[in-house]
Amino acid sequence: MPTTLKIYHEKQTRQLCALHALNNLFQENIYQKAELDNICSNLSPNAWINPHRSLLGLGNYDINVIMTALEIRHCEAFWFDKRKDPSCIDLDKIVGFILNIPLDYKIGAITLPIRKRHWIAVRRIGQHYYNLDSKLRQPELLGTESDVLHFLREQLKEKEQQRELFLVRYRSDCNESPQRWIEESHDINKTAD
């Protein structure tokens, strides 16, 4: 990891991986648990049990909370179709990535037949891409554009694991194509001259 870069990296606490992924993505502590809990309440104001977080209110936020939190900061998230190769992504138009991956639930060395989900942020900092997973002791240097595309490809090829990738970008002109994160050479909606 280049020593001159100051990389913001929150570590995992409780079930707050979505909170950590958002803060790691933006490289600062801009979201708090109370803000995400408020988003949950606004998404389901009349729900006795809120479907957007854990039953006990300890975190475990869903994608609706993440997308709403991104909208507050003038960003938007797009679900990436895993049938496509990540090379179609125009990396210059992306703030970063949020991955949702399954985790085994363990008590000590015993793996229980319960699966949990975990949110991870990946983004470029300086000239390199980093895996900012809050479960890591420190950010993981992925490398160049080709390295991050390889990392994403490897994550998404785990078909039985049901991994999901969301592309995060700043909101811009609403007249643009909703697929504006696709490289022009891969855009099937673009007509030939």
Catalytic residue annotation: 17, 118, 133
CB 80 within 8 A of CB 167: yes
Classify residue 20 as exposed, middle or buried by CB count within 10 Å of its CB (0-12, 13-18, 19+).
buried
Q: CB count, 10 Å around CB of 126?
A: 10
Cα end-to-end span (Å), the chain:
44
Enumerate long-range contacts of 140-147, CB under 8 Å, 24 or more apart: 141/1, 145/91
CB 163 within 8 A of CB 81: no
